[in-house]
Amino acid sequence: MRLEEQSRWLWEQYPEQYLEFALFVTDLGGVTTVMVLLSVLYWVLDREQSALVVSYIVAGASVVLLLKLGFALPRPEVELVAREYDQYGFPSGHAFTATVVYGGLVQVFDRYRNSVTTAAAVVLIVAIALSRVVIGVHYLADVIAGVAIGVGFLLVMNRVTDGDPVRGFAVGVALGVPAVVAAAIAGAELSLAVVSLGSALGGLAGASALDSMPSLRSRREGVALVAVGLAYLVVVSSLEETLLGIHPGLGVVLFAVLVAGIMTAPWAVGWAVPDRFAVGSS
């Protein structure tokens, strides 16, 4: 049912010495890479479009969690890599995330008519999905389902949001609450549900203020914004384990503050950086 035999064939055929490369590829669909990528795009490129993709993946994380809890299908019983993952494997969250993020970027930035860009996104999504199989944390059917659900979710969110990230984050809040409740009832790890709900709340607050965000004045200000923003991201993220250990509610607050801070960073840096410095290098 989950293409176990085909998955085992892939495990056996993939060279063990290249597992580190597979881990590198799989991390391209992980939370850290996606958060950094979308934050930088938001700071220096197009804020509304980037925020829209952020809202997609924040809302989508709750969908994946609810599906995992609903199906409750375990991961493969193989130990090819020394990493810890949640207990459920269907559908693949990384395959879903890769589809929603990289496919979403192609969609919202109107690059799907460019065959090279579209092909590159497809190759990246397939590579991330297959990497999950070859490192032994998913069956082939898990990643196929993750990609398929991701495509369907993109189509639905594109229709529901109509290009408005506020709507996207509102959907994220609406999905995040039942995700937290379902995880608590099931006795599952709450971290993903907490991250999803907190990020949706922070994103909703930040997206509501998008129109008041100042435009980027120069490349120099862009560099300063990225440097300050990434430092903020690292510092706030480092508190996750401590606050979640105290109470899950503090985790919701933490990620609400994190995402709201990422989205309002242009205002903070624009206020703090003098005009003479910001426009010194256009």
Burial 101-131 (b: 16+ CB within 10 A, else e): bbbbbbbbbeeeeeeeeeeebeebbeebbbb
Residues in the chain: 282
Task: Quote the pTM value.
Answer: 0.92
Q: Which amino acid is at 87?
A: Q
Question: In this predicted structure, what is the pLDDT of residue 279?
Answer: 55
Written as tens digits, the pLDDT of the chain (282 aa) is 889 999 989 888 888 889 899 999 999 999 999 999 999 999 998 899 999 999 999 999 999 999 999 999 999 887 677 577 778 989 999 999 999 999 999 999 888 888 899 999 999 999 999 999 999 899 999 999 999 999 999 999 999 999 999 999 999 999 999 999 999 998 888 888 999 999 999 999 999 999 888 888 788 888 889 999 999 999 999 999 899 889 989 999 999 999 999 999 988 887 766 555 555 544
Nearest to 132 by CA among 94, 80, 88: 94
Q: Rounded to whole angstroms, how far apart are CA atoms 146 and 152?
A: 10
According to DSSP, the residues that pair with 88 across neighbouring strands are 74
Question: In this predicted structure, what is the pLDDT of residue 198?
Answer: 96
Q: What is the dihedral of CA 63, 66, 70, 75, to 10 degrees?
A: 90
